[in-house]
Amino acid sequence: MTVRRPWRLGLRFVALGYLALLLLIPVGVVFYRTFEHGFGAVWDSVSTPAAVSAFWLTIEVTAIAVPLNTIFGIVMALALARGRFPGKGLLNAAIDLPFAISPIVIGLSLVLVYGTTGWFGQDLANAGIHVIFSVPGIVLATIFVSLPFVVREVTPVLREVGNEQEQAAATLGANGWQTFWRITLPAIRWGVAYGVVLSVARAIGEFGAVSVVSGRIAGETQTLTLLVDNRYGNFDIAGAYSAATLLALIALVTLLAMTVIRPRREENE
């Protein structure tokens, strides 16, 4: 379809205009408003004890949730792409559930199982383990919401690569582990990397599910996203903007990583 120039320019104007009004200008305004009063003010606002503690808690939660989800994701992807077993279709559908369910419902569901009045809460409390309103709850919520990313990124790559290289390695004497480390993992590494980047972004940015299970104790169970909400609620608008900008910068780094990894992931054949 060859579209005449005025039409093309018109379409471009409307499409980019929509993008600008909805996405680009608002993001730009946040950056502008954050740095309006100078870099020093921003630095002071993101280096308060509460902010530093929120930052490290976010990193800690991400550092636990993402590796666990990566291992789970690779094992599950291998099973879905290579295995034959009853109930595979059902399992495949169940993996998408965290994408389809409201973060608030996810938070609620964890409270109902691991909270003090929940199914296992009392037993866990007797054993001295507190999940809800404590860090383990935040970790659980983060694992829940970021669970599908690695599976969803790696499964198609595994299908695309096929199992011929793995069979060749087997005929050459490599055992299961050797084949996995030397052949399968290198072949899917960019798919894994892409899934990890998406998981990290989601883990750092999760708000709804975490806000239900955390209890929001400043300096203890407050993550960066909760800090933004908390500051805004306390009419510390500049402080909220600073923390939001910090998170937005992390998001931009994520985008950059996605842009770098995407073409490599698609390189397979």
**Structural contact between residues 224 and 236, judged by C-beta atoms closer than 8 angstroms:** no
Nearest distance in Å: CB 244, another protein: 4
Contact 202, 73 (CB under 8 A): no
- Residue among 257, 80, 61 at smallest CA distance from 151: 80
Taking the C-alpha atoms of residue 167 and residue 156, their distance in angstroms, rounded to an integer, is 19
Shortest distance (Å) from residue 243 CB to another protein? 9
Count H helices and E strands in the chain, helices first.
16, 0
Residue 128 Cβ vs another protein, minimum distance, rounded to whole Å: 19
Closer to another protein by Cβ: residue 52 or 105: 105
Question: Measured from the CB atom, is 53 or 251 closer to another protein?
Answer: 251
Joined together, the tokens standing for residue 157 give 């790559």
Min CB(28)–another protein separation in Å:
9
Count CB-CB contacts under 10 A for residue 253. Answer: 13
Nearer to another protein, 134 or 208 (CB): 208
Question: Could you give the CA distance from residue 142 to residue 61 in angstroms, rounded to a whole number?
Answer: 7
Taking the least distance from each CB to another protein, the nearer of 43 and 120 is 120
- Residue 241: CB minimum distance to another protein, A: 7
Alpha-carbon Rg of the chain, whole angstroms?
A: 22
Cβ proximity to another protein, 52 vs 91, nearer residue = 91
